[in-house]
Amino acid sequence: MEGGRPTWGELLLGLAVSLLLQGRTNTFTINCSGFDMSGVDPASFEVIFSQKDFPPVTNYSIPIHVNISFTMSAILDVDAQLQLLTSFLWLKMAWIHPYISWDPEDCGGINKLSVTAENLWLPDIFIVESTDVDQTPDGLSAYVAHNGRIVYRKPVRLTSICSLNIFYFPFDQQNCTLTFSSFLYTVENMLLDLDKNVWEIADTSKDIIRTQGEWELLGIDKATPKMSVGSSLFDQIVLYVAIRRRPGLYVINLLVPSGFLMAIDALSFYLPAENENRAPFKITLLLGYNVFLLMMNKLLPSSGNPLINIYFSLCLSLMVVSLLETIFITYLLHVATTQPPPMPPWLHSLLLYCTSPWKGCPAMFWKKKVDPHLPPTQLPGLMELEERGAKEQRPRETELTEGSGWTRAQLVDLWVWFGHVMDTFLFRLYLLFLATSIITVLVLWST
Ligand SMILES: *[C@@H]1O[C@H](CO)[C@@H](O)[C@H](O)[C@H]1NC(C)=O
Ligand SMILES: *[C@@H]1O[C@H](CO)[C@@H](O)[C@H](O)[C@H]1NC(C)=O
Ligand SMILES: *[C@@H]1O[C@H](CO)[C@@H](O)[C@H](O)[C@H]1NC(C)=O
Ligand SMILES: *[C@@H]1O[C@H](CO)[C@@H](O)[C@H](O)[C@H]1NC(C)=O
What pLDDT digit, counting tens, does each position of 180-192 carry?
999 999 999 999 9
Is 420 contained in some domain? Answer: yes
Ligand lying closest to the C-alpha of residue 27: 1
What pLDDT score was predicted for residue 23? 41
Is 238 in a helix, a strand, or coil? strand
Phi then psi dihedrals of residue 39, to 5 deg: 85, 175
Residues 235, 256 within the same domain: no
Q: What is the mean pLDDT of residues 1-15?
A: 48
Residues 165, 312 within the same domain: no
Residue among 79, 78, 69 nearest 216 (CA) = 78
| Cα–Cα distance, 87 to 155 (Å, whole number) | 11
Confidence of residue 27 (pLDDT cuts 50, 70, 90): low
Residues 231, 273 within the same domain: no
Strand-pair partners of 245? 215
Ligand 4 neighbourhood includes 221 CB (under 6 angstroms): yes
Which atom number of ligand 4 is nearest to the Cα of residue 175? 1
Residues 117, 183 within the same domain: yes
pLDDT tens-digit series, residues 138-179: 889 999 999 999 999 999 999 999 999 988 888 999 999 999
Alpha helices in 340-382 (DSSP H): 345-354, 364-369
**Consecutive H or E run containing 207:** helix 198-208
Is the model's pLDDT at 395 over the cut of 60? no
Q: Which domain holds residue 436?
A: 249-446
pLDDT tens-digit series, residues 80-137: 889 999 999 999 999 999 988 888 888 888 899 999 999 999 999 999 999 988 788 8
Is 11 contained in some domain? Answer: no
CA 364 / ligand 2 centre spacing (Å): 96
User: 353: exposed, middle or buried (C-beta count within 10 Å: 0-12, 13-18, 19+)?
Assistant: exposed
**Consecutive H or E run containing 434:** helix 408-446
What pLDDT score was predicted for residue 420? 87
Residues 215, 267 within the same domain: no
CA 432 / ligand 4 centre spacing (Å): 38
Confidence of residue 8 (pLDDT cuts 50, 70, 90): low
pLDDT tens-digit series, residues 426-439: 999 999 999 998 89
Confidence of residue 392 (pLDDT cuts 50, 70, 90): very low
**Consecutive H or E run containing 181:** strand 173-182
Is 180 contained in some domain? Answer: yes
Closest residue by CA, ligand 2 atom 11: 59
Contact 299, 250 (CB under 8 A): yes
pLDDT tens-digit series, residues 264-291: 999 999 988 888 889 999 999 999 999 9
CA 216 / ligand 4 centre spacing (Å): 16
Q: What is the mean pLDDT of residues 370-386?
A: 41
Under 8 Å CB-to-CB from 409, ≥6 apart: which residues?
A: 375, 376, 386, 390, 397
For ligand 4, pick from 174, 175, 222 the residue to mutate: most ligand atoms within 8 Å of CB: 175
Is the model's pLDDT at 339 over the cut of 60? yes
What pLDDT score was predicted for residue 230? 83
Residues 411, 440 within the same domain: yes
Residues 177, 280 within the same domain: no
What pLDDT score was predicted for residue 256? 92
What pLDDT score was predicted for residue 47? 85
pLDDT tens-digit series, residues 403-425: 556 788 888 888 888 888 889 89
CA 239 / ligand 4 centre spacing (Å): 9
Residues 270, 235 within the same domain: no
Q: Please provide the distance, in angstroms rounded to a whole number, between the alpha carbons at the two ends of the chain.
A: 66
Residues 221, 297 within the same domain: no
Domain boundary among 221, 246, 271: 246
Domain boundary among 187, 222, 246: 246
Which residues contact ligand 3 via a Cβ below 6 A?
Answer: 65, 67, 94-96, 149, 193, 195
What pLDDT score was predicted for residue 442? 86
Which atom number of ligand 4 is nearest to the Cα of residue 223? 7
C-alpha torsion angle, residues 249, 255, 259, 262 (rounded to 10): 130
| Cα–Cα distance, 436 to 429 (Å, whole number) | 10
Which residues contact ligand 2 via a Cβ below 6 A?
Answer: 59, 61-62
Domain count, the chain: 2
Rg (CA), the chain: 41
Domain boundary among 246, 274, 300: 246
What is the number of helices (H) and of strands (E) in the chain?
Answer: 12, 12
What pLDDT score was predicted for residue 381? 39
| Cα–Cα distance, 213 to 74 (Å, whole number) | 9
Is 383 contained in some domain? Answer: yes
Which residues contact ligand 1 via a Cβ below 6 A?
Answer: 31, 33-34, 41
| Cα–Cα distance, 11 to 163 (Å, whole number) | 58
Is 79 contained in some domain? Answer: yes
Is the model's pLDDT at 351 over the cut of 60? yes
Contact 211, 75 (CB under 8 A): yes
| Amino acid sitting at position 250 | Y
> Which DSSP state fits 317?
H
Q: Helix crossing, 408-446 with 256-267: angle to 10°?
A: 160
Closest residue by CA, ligand 1 atom 3: 33
What pLDDT score was predicted for residue 64? 94
Is 4 contained in some domain? Answer: no
Residues 129, 114 within the same domain: yes
Please report, for the domain that includes residue 93, its CATH number: 2.70.170.10
pLDDT tens-digit series, residues 200-257: 999 999 999 877 788 999 999 998 787 788 888 999 999 999 999 999 989 999 999 9
Residues 238, 254 within the same domain: no
Distances (CA, A) of 404 to 37, 329, 342: 121, 23, 7
> How many CB atoms within 10 Å of residue 370?
9
For ligand 1, pick from 31, 36, 40 the residue to mutate: most ligand atoms within 8 Å of CB: 31
Residue among 265, 266, 269, 270 nearest 285 (CA) = 265
Is 232 contained in some domain? Answer: yes
Closest residue by CA, ligand 3 atom 1: 67
Is 391 contained in some domain? Answer: yes
Q: Helix crossing, 307-338 with 256-267: angle to 10°?
A: 10
Residues 65, 133 within the same domain: yes
Q: What is the pTM of this model?
A: 0.76
Closest residue by CA, ligand 1 atom 12: 31
Residue 274 exposure: Cα atoms within 13 Å on the Cβ side: 15
Average pLDDT along the chain: 82
CA-angle at 381, arms to 378 and 382, nearest 5°: 50
